[in-house]
């Protein structure tokens, strides 16, 4: 996903490493109790890094590593949290968001369900602040595919209308930046 072959191969290595970790973790999760423990830890990590990133946008640096926020169109701050680049946070968030949504939708205890929806909200807000094109495309395509597979046409239509309205409500510098992107 880059003009540089070396960067693309490096990205593929990262994907393979992450997939290997996921497969090893999946091999150890044999009971529902362990699965819930792993998902709860995932939620806690997502909440921590999302809050750290949102603090970075608000104050200019994140609390955990002291990274300065990047610059987005119109002089807005671009969230990277503890990651080296906003797109790296975007990859993390896009990868973890489905697990957070699944936990929010299916948690047995109402308290856990509420906490999971709060994490989904925090992560969604943080993801927006990354101004990461690949992340926007990944979330849009994956949720559209999910909704099509579920035949949730009304929800898909409503989200399309909300997305179009959101594009119209963007500040002018961001709208110009979005229009200039390939």
pTM here is 0.72
3-state SS, residue 23: helix
pLDDT of residue 182: 66
Q: What gap in Å lies between CA 118 and CA 68, rounded to an integer?
A: 25
- Residue pLDDT, tens place only, 102-153: 888 888 889 989 999 999 999 999 998 888 888 888 888 888 888 888 888 9
- Residue pLDDT, tens place only, 60-98: 888 888 888 888 777 778 888 888 888 889 989 998 888
Task: Please report, for residues 35, 66, 68, the alpha-carbon distance to residue 84 in angstroms, rounded to integers and kept in the order given.
Answer: 30, 11, 10
The owner of tokens 């099509």 is 148
Beta strands in 62-116 (DSSP E): 70-71, 77-78
What percent of the chain clears pLDDT 90, i.e. is strictly above it?
19
114 neighbors 73 (Cβ within 8 angstroms): no
Q: Is the pLDDT of residue 51 over 90?
A: yes
φ/ψ of 36, rounded to 5, equals: -65, -35
20-44 average pLDDT score? 85
81 neighbors 90 (Cβ within 8 angstroms): no
């Amino acid at each position: 996903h880059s003009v540089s072959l070396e960067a693309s191969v490096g990205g593929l290595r990262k994907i393979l490493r992450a997939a290997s970790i996921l497969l090893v973790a999946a091999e150890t999760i044999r009971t529902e109790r362990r699965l819930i423990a792993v998902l709860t830890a995932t939620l806690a990590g997502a909440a921590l890094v999302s809050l750290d990133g949102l603090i970075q946008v608000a104050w200019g640096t994140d609390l955990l590593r002291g990274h300065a926020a990047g610059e987005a169109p119109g002089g807005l701050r671009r969230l990277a949290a503890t990651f080296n680049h906003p797109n790296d946070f975007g990859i993390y968030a896009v990868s973890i968001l489905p697990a957070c949504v699944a936990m929010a939708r299916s948690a047995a205890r109402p308290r856990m369900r509420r906490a999971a929806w709060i994490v989904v909200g925090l992560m969604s807000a943080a993801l927006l602040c990354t101004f990461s094109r690949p992340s926007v495309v990944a979330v849009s395509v994956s949720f559209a595919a999910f909704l099509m597979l579920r035949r949730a046409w009304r929800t898909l239509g409503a989200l399309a209308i909300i997305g179009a309205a959101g594009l119209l409500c963007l500040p002018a510098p961001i709208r110009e930046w979005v229009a200039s992107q390939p």
